Each structure stands twice: as C-alpha cells, then as structure tokens.
C-alpha cells in the first residue's frame, strides 16, 4: 500500500538521522564563557634630576630632551679676577624630580675635576678644588664649610624622591702661583654622576 | 413445558439478542499519572572580580595608571574569579587567554605567565578538569618585573599593556549516559 511505503521511508530517514548523531559525535556546541582581566598598563617612570645654579637659579635637567648630558655653567662668588691665595665659590642644587610611584632614592657623586681649556691649563697645578655636600645653596660661600673637606675634589650625596641636595665647590688659587701666569684663564669641569640606589 | 423452563428460555433469549447488537461493551481499562517531575538544566559561569595591583612592599596601588615603575620594581596583579559549575555530568577547563601587548620595556621588563589557583586543587593547570565541587573562587595572579640590572636610562617612560589577558571557562564533552 502507498501509505505503508510512505511510513517505511519516513522511518528510514529518522533512523539515518539518529545513526548520524550517534556515530559522528559531531561538533555540537558546549557551554563556555570568558572574562577579562582589566589589568591595565604598567608604565615606567622617568629618571630626571634637575640642576640649579646657585646664583642665577638657572635650572636644567641632567639629561636633555635629546638624551645628551647637560652642561651647566656655574656662577662664582666672588666674581671677577682671582688673585693668588684667594678662593671663589660655586654651588649646584640637585633635585630628584622623578615621577616614580614607589621609593626612588639616588646617589649623586662628583668625578675628578678637569681643568682646561682642552683638559690642560698652566694654572692647573696651582688650583685647588674642594667639593662638599651641603643642604642649602647659601652654605656654599662659607669658608668654614670646606675646612674638613678632603683635597680630592669629590663628594657624594643621597637624595630621596622629591628631595634635593647641594654640591658646593671651593676653588683656591695657590699663593705660590708665579706672576708669569697672571692673566691666564682656566675652565674647570666637574662631572656629576647619579645612580639609582 | 414447565413455567420455570419457559421463564429461563425467555431470559436466555433476551441475553443472546443483546450480544448480537454489537453495542458499546465496557472492557478493562485503567489510567494513572506518570509523575515524571521536572528537568532542570545546570549552569556554567565565570565572573571576574576587581583585580588589585601591589608592589613588592605589599602596598596596594589604587590606580596602576598613576604608578610608575623603576628598575627593581616587582608588581603583582591579583584577581578573584568566581567559577560556577552545576550539572551531574558537568566538567570544564579553565584557562588563561590572550597575552600582553608588545612589551615596550624590551628585555628589561618581564611579564610572568598568569597562574590560577583554588582552594581544592592548588594550582589549576590548563588541562585540569574541573567538576561542580570546584565551584567557588579561583585566584588569578600575574607579575611584572622591571629588572634591577637595567642600566643607564634604558626603558624610561616605557609601558606594557596587560589588558589583553583574560580567562575562559569551557565545558568538556560529557561522557554519554548511555554507556554507563
């Protein structure tokens, strides 16, 4: 009968579908879900140390925008010509102006002074340079500050984040300088090196 | 013919006639409710709670965008995840997805692989199969280290974006109950 054949065909199709599902064990979707960490970004601080001249209050960063080291010309007290046996003074204030999130203390140290121009000067043997760490620029012109300072011309200073410190310099022209060197000039360069502690 | 026999014959004839009519006979039947109850589906869910950044001094960082790291800094990001697994045949795997974006710190900054831990299993490894008994809190931990060996002014003002890190909870195919 027609109806019997129809029933048989439908049954065969249903059977095939059931077999297909059972044998293939196909890629049916399973439950899954996801969540984000929302951790954000971690950023590094900058490493900035400011230099301020004693007299002019000129300020510069130790490292310039182009990544090169700054040179800060210091004004001396007293100004003018230095006579044998006389001293002149200068100072620079260092500021730890980093934007670090945690503690960030730096250690600043002065290097061996170079007396020029060109690293040599006839005045070099007659120039004494003392470097002392101080707390205020106003201390730099006080001779008593340098009485206990070594003649090596170096000093170190630890500066906490957002704090500042001062290097004071005393330059003395020896009384034994020969008169033949009168009129000579000397350029003193003192390197400052800063490290993170 | 006696009267009883006549009466009997009359009754018998009446019965036969009723059977011949083919009427609505009552046959045995009985009915009852199945009482199968309700079929209820299980659940699979993952909710990430608010993560917290801390530095090596175990100080909480309120906003990572405002905290700038320096060489030697180690920051840890800890985030609670609430895992829900319900179902008699429910099994799932929990994994970390994504990775931090290109590291602006170069070799000077290290982002650790995110670890997942729960109270029942300790560390939840990528291939660990979780069951409903594992429902509850999983702790995700990620660490960033700015190497203390960084020299000069390397990596100043650098950054690394960890927002791409995520988590995925995925059901595993159940064993067919027909094979039991």
Select from A32, A44, A102 the Cβ nearest to the Cβ of B55. A102
DSSP SS3 for B48? strand
pLDDT recorded at residue A3: 43
Q: Tokens 């988590």 appear where?
A: B167
| Phi, psi at B29, each rounded to 5° | -155, 155
**Cβ contacts of B81 on chain A, cutoff 8 Å:** 35
Q: Please, are residues A72 and A58 in contact by the beta-carbon 8 Å criterion?
A: yes
Helix/strand/coil (H/E/C) assignment for every residue in A68-89: CECCCCCCCECCCCCCCCCEEE
Tokens (6 digits) for B45: 């869910």
For chain B, the maximum distance between any two Cα atoms, rounded to a whole number of angstroms, is: 141
Residue of A nearest to B102 (CA): A41
A89 Cα to chain B: minimum distance (Å) = 31
Between A108 and A54, the higher pLDDT residue? A108
Please report the pLDDT score of residue B24 as a whole number: 60
Domain ranges, ordered by start, for chain A? 49-196
- Residue A155 scores a pLDDT above 90: yes
Q: Nearest 10 degrees: CA dihedral of B148, B154, B158, B164?
A: -60
> Which residues of A, range 19-58, sit inside 8 Å of B by Cβ?
25, 30-47
Q: Which of A24, A52, A79, A40 is nearest to A137 (CA)?
A: A52
pLDDT at position A7 over 60: no
Q: Which of B65, B81, B156 sits opposite A46 (nearest CB)?
A: B156
Alpha-carbon span A188 to A121, nearest angstrom: 10
Task: Please tell me the distance from the alpha carbon of residue B137 to that of residue B48, in angstroms, as a whole number.
Answer: 10
The token pair that represents B16 in the structure block: 């036969």
pLDDT at A147: 93
Model pTM above 0.80 = no
State how far the Cα of B118 lies from the Cα of B128, in Å rounded to an integer. 12
Q: Where are the domains of chain B?
A: 43-151+160-179
- Per-residue model confidence (pLDDT) at position A137: 87
Structure tokens at A26: 């196909």
Contact at 8 Å (CB) between A37 and B142?
A: yes
Taking the Cβ of residue B46 and every Cβ of chain A, the question of whether any pair is shorter than 8 Å is answered with yes
Can you give the length of chain A in residues?
Answer: 197
Query: What pLDDT is recorded for position A28?
Result: 56
Tell me the pLDDT band of A102, cut-offs 50, 70 and 90. very high
Residue among B102, B104, B117 at smallest CA distance from B155: B104
Query: Touching check for B147 and chain A: CB below 8 Å?
Result: no
Do residues B130 and A4 touch, judged by C-beta distance below 8 A? no
Interface confidence (ipTM) of the complex: 0.77
Pairing of strands B68-69, A41-44: parallel
For residue A158, the model assigns a pLDDT of 97
User: Is the CB of residue A151 less than 8 Å away from at least one CB of chain B?
Assistant: no
Q: A46: distance to nearest CA of chain B, Å?
A: 5
Q: Does A101 contact B55 at a Cβ distance shorter than 8 Å?
A: yes
Q: Would you say A103 and A197 are in contact if contact means Cβ atoms under 8 Å apart?
A: no
How distant is the Cα of A11 from the closest Cα of chain B, in angstroms? 22
Q: Give contacts of B79 with chain A, Cβ < 8 Å.
A: 37, 39
- List chain B residues with pLDDT less than 50: 1-22, 177-180
Closest by alpha carbon to A83, among A172, A169, A158? A172
Which residues in chain B are contacts of A43 at CB distance < 8 A? Answer: 65, 67-69, 157-159
Q: Is the four-CA dihedral A54, A60, A61, A62 of positive or negative sign?
A: negative
Q: Nearest residue of B to residue A68 by CA position?
A: B153
pLDDT for position B17: 38
What ranges in chain B are assigned the alpha helix state H?
A: 3-20
């Amino acid at each position: 009968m027609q109806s019997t054949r129809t029933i048989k065909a439908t049954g065969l199709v249903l059977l095939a579908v059931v077999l297909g599902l059972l044998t293939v064990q196909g890629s049916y979707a399973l439950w899954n879900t996801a969540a984000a960490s929302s951790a954000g970004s971690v950023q590094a601080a900058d490493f900035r140390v400011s230099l301020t001249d004693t007299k002019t209050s000129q300020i510069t960063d130790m490292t310039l925008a182009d990544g090169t080291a700054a040179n800060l010309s210091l004004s001396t007290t007293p100004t003018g010509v230095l006579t044998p046996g006389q001293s002149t003074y200068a100072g620079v204030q260092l500021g730890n102006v980093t934007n670090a999130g945690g503690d960030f203390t730096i250690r600043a140290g002065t290097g061996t002074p170079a007396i020029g121009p060109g690293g040599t000067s006839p005045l070099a043997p007659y120039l004494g340079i003392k470097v002392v760490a101080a707390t205020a620029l106003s201390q730099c012109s006080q001779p008593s500050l340098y009485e206990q300072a070594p003649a090596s011309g170096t000093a170190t200073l630890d500066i906490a984040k957002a704090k500042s410190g001062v290097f004071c310099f005393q330059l003395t022209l020896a009384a034994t300088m020969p008169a033949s060197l009168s009129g000579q000039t000397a350029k003193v360069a003192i390197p400052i090196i800063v490290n993170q502690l | 013919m006696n009267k009883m026999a006549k009466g009997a014959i009359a009754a018998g004839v009446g019965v036969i006639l009723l059977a011949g009519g083919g009427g609505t006979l009552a046959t045995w039947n009985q009915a009852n409710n199945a009482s199968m109850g309700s079929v209820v589906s299980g659940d699979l869910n993952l909710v990430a709670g608010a993560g917290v950044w801390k530095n090596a001094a175990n100080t909480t960082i309120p906003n990572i965008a405002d905290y700038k790291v320096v060489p030697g800094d180690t920051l840890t990001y800890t985030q609670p995840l609430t895992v829900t697994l319900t179902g008699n045949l429910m099994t799932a795997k929990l994994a970390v997805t994504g990775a931090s974006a290109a590291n602006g710190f170069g070799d000077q900054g290290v982002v650790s692989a995110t670890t997942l831990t729960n109270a029942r299993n300790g560390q939840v490894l990528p291939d660990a199969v979780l069951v409903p008994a594992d429902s509850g809190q999983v702790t995700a931990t990620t660490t960033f280290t700015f190497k203390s060996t960084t020299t000069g002014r390397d990596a100043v003002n650098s950054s690394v974006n960890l927002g791409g890190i995520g988590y995925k909870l995925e059901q595993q195919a159940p064993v067919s109950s027909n094979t039991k």
